[in-house]
Structure 1
Amino acid sequence: MEFNFILPENFEPQSVKHLLEKTWLVPRKQRYFLRLKKHFWVNGVLVSDQHILVSTDRIKICFDSEDFSELFVPFGDKNLADLIYEDDHVAIANKPEGMKTHGNEKNELGLQNHVAAAVGHGVFVVHRLDQSTSGAVLFAKNQFVLPILGRMFEENLIHREYLALVHGHFSSPVITIDQPIGKNRHDKRKQIVTPTGKRAVTHLSVLTEYKKSSLIKLTLDTGRTHQIRVHLSALTAPIFGDLLYGNDTHEPRLMLHAQKISWPDPFTGEMREVLAPSKTFDARCQQEQDNQD
């Protein structure tokens, strides 16, 4: 497995060790392999981890097949992948509501399988969306970048922006919900706001107020299970179509959509932003708008 990079013109001089550990966030295990096997080249020359790198340097790193565990992902239908962004290291797909991010059973297919078929090889799940939620899902295309992206999520360097159509109105156009979330002891399917839970922070902005509902934008500082749905339910503003935390049995879908994902390229630092449209989400919002008249 070989990877090649050209350091950007605004690159600040630093050692190979600093680049791998601090700038690229490469995990210790992979740094160990590169150092032990001497698999790091600069401008065609093998170098130590104390070598100072400068802008426009050409980097080549290699891993052996035994450095990573093998991944087998059965191919799904490439026509169901709906790729909206792809580069050498990541693929982003626009997941429709009702499709799982990945299968849970041996022969069950999910978005991961369809994306694998589209790119021609297995891809790795970096984060998930609930089956009933639509929108942008990021996959790693190789095992080198997988833990780097995981670390970026942990450090809140990868940002996701959601839209939701909810019941009711809010007392303020901008709200930060800082309430811990934990398991519901009475219903294993659900999470609940509880003082014994893990810290969860959701930022909410009202975009449009309809007669009896609101279209809102949400961003997260944390990534707890069902975080948005739990926090909005706790505010007595459940999401339209939420059968778990509400009772909208007549709605065609859960009105929660991951509309945008943005992140710095892990190797160049260049900011990237991808938008994911949803016709079904927009159509339901249009119905609320039409009801205004």
Structure 2
Amino acid sequence: MEYAITLPKNQKEMTIRELLEKEWLVPRKVRHFLRTRKNVRKNGEFVMFHEHCRAGDIITLVIEPTDYVYQTVALGNKNKISVLYEDEHLIVVNKPTGVKTHPNQPQEIDTLLNDLAAYLAVKNQRPYVVHRLDKETSGAILFAKNPLVLPILGRLLEQKSIYRRYQAVVAGNLDHDLTITKKIGRDRHDRRKRIVDERNGQTAITHITVHHGGKKSQVYCQLETGRTHQIRVHLKSIGHPIIGDPLYGSIKAPRLMLHASEMHIEHPFSKEKLIITATPGLW
């Protein structure tokens, strides 16, 4: 595949080597192939790795099929995919409730990743998992469309540079905003579940903003960390479990009332600020 990327206006001047290694996180092996095969061009001309690039330059990379390893994914149903945003490098889709993000067994073909693989196969592209949502959670979820952008998106996630806001409906009257910082660990008695574990758990931070109180409160949740079941465990820990939660709640509903409603991300290459909303939400 050939990728032509125009360096953004705020791009600092640097060498091609620095761009590939430090900015774009291209693996050493792939950088070696790009250099020896002369598969890097600047403004249409072959360029050496010690040469400089700057804002406005068009950097073209030719990635051979064998440069990266790809795990084969069975094709699902492309018609189930609801696209919120898409370009050459990444795609954000609206995940339905009750659908797993990715398969855990080779024979599984009914996950979101399977359906997305079928959607992208028509374009001769492949999906790469960046993060996940619980099976019961709906809303915006981000995938890479090529291995070049995948590590950059991973770094943005680690640096907490991807803003994600969730809607939730919880039991009881939650009448004030708060931040929950309780550590989360595994439940030794149920492998499916997580618990608050201040001694052995991992750091977890969830910001809660009340949208509307009442017998069932509507709240927004923003994550600083991405622990498994973090929002669900944190809300239960303060006595306000999410409505319809089969693991942590007591009030039944047709679905888990948790929805990834909004995502903000700076595009890895263009540096454009993307604000993506997943509608309809819970209210």
Normalised TM-score (structure 1): 0.89
- CA–CA separation in structure 2 for the residues paired with 1:68 and 1:24: 15
Structure 2 residue aligned with 1:207: 211
Selected match of 1:252 from 241, 251, 254: 254
The change in CA–CA distance for 1:61 and 1:215 in structure 2 (over 3 A counts) is: same
Selected match of 2:180 from 155, 159, 177: 177
- CA–CA separation in structure 2 for the residues paired with 1:130 and 1:178: 21
Q: How many residues align?
A: 278
Structure 1 residue aligned with 2:114: 113
Quote the offset at 1:171 in angstroms.
5.5
Selected match of 1:143 from 144, 147, 159: 147
Is the contact between residue 170 and residue 217 of structure 2 (CA under 8 Å) also seen in structure 1?
yes
- Over residues 53-94 of structure 1, what are the superposed CA-to-partner deviations in whole Å (9 max), with x where a residue is unaligned? 122211111222221113322221121111121100111110
- Over residues 225-278 of structure 1, what are the superposed CA-to-partner deviations in whole Å (9 max), with x where a residue is unaligned? 000001111111100001101122x31110000001111110121111111113
Structure 2 residue aligned with 1:191: 194
Please tell me whether residue 18 in structure 1 is matched to residue 18 in structure 2: yes
The change in CA–CA distance for 1:85 and 1:213 in structure 2 (over 3 A counts) is: same
Structure 2 residue aligned with 1:70: 70
Quote the offset at 1:28 in angstroms.
4.2
Is the contact between residue 83 and residue 115 of structure 1 (CA under 8 Å) also seen in structure 2?
no
Selected match of 1:131 from 107, 131, 135: 135
Q: How large is the RMSD of aligned CA atoms in angstroms?
A: 1.8
Quote the offset at 1:12 in angstroms.
2.7
Residue identity in the other structure for 1:96: P
The change in CA–CA distance for 1:90 and 1:44 in structure 2 (over 3 A counts) is: same
The change in CA–CA distance for 1:270 and 1:25 in structure 2 (over 3 A counts) is: farther
Structure 2 residue aligned with 1:44: 44
Is the contact between residue 27 and residue 148 of structure 1 (CA under 8 Å) also seen in structure 2?
no
**For structure 1, which runs of at least 5 residues remain unmatched after alignment?**
283-293
Residue identity in the other structure for 1:50: H
For residues 96-107 of structure 1, the aligned pairs below 5 Å read 96-107=96-107
Quote the offset at 1:218 in angstroms.
0.9
Structure 2 residue aligned with 1:152: 156
- CA–CA separation in structure 1 for the residues paired with 2:11 and 2:192: 47
Structure 1 residue aligned with 2:270: 268
Residue identity in the other structure for 1:164: A
Normalised TM-score (structure 2): 0.92
Quote the offset at 1:153 in angstroms.
1.0
Quote the offset at 1:27 in angstroms.
4.1
The change in CA–CA distance for 1:153 and 1:29 in structure 2 (over 3 A counts) is: farther
**For structure 2, which runs of at least 5 residues remain unmatched after alignment?**
none
Quote the offset at 1:112 in angstroms.
1.1
Is the contact between residue 24 and residue 149 of structure 2 (CA under 8 Å) also seen in structure 1?
no
Is the contact between residue 5 and residue 58 of structure 1 (CA under 8 Å) also seen in structure 2?
yes
Is the contact between residue 166 and residue 240 of structure 1 (CA under 8 Å) also seen in structure 2?
yes
Quote the offset at 1:14 in angstroms.
2.1
Residue identity in the other structure for 1:247: S
Residue identity in the other structure for 1:113: N
* Structure 1 residue matching 2:168: 3-state secondary structure: strand
Quote the offset at 1:219 in angstroms.
0.9
Identity over aligned pairs, percent: 45
The change in CA–CA distance for 1:155 and 1:209 in structure 2 (over 3 A counts) is: same
* Structure 1 residue matching 2:115: 3-state secondary structure: helix
Quote the offset at 1:95 in angstroms.
0.8
Higher helix share: 1
Is the contact between residue 175 and residue 213 of structure 2 (CA under 8 Å) also seen in structure 1?
no
- Over residues 204-229 of structure 1, what are the superposed CA-to-partner deviations in whole Å (9 max), with x where a residue is unaligned? 1111112x121111111111000000
Is the contact between residue 205 and residue 216 of structure 1 (CA under 8 Å) also seen in structure 2?
yes
- CA–CA separation in structure 1 for the residues paired with 2:149 and 2:58: 18
- Over residues 84-116 of structure 1, what are the superposed CA-to-partner deviations in whole Å (9 max), with x where a residue is unaligned? 211001111101111111222323221112122
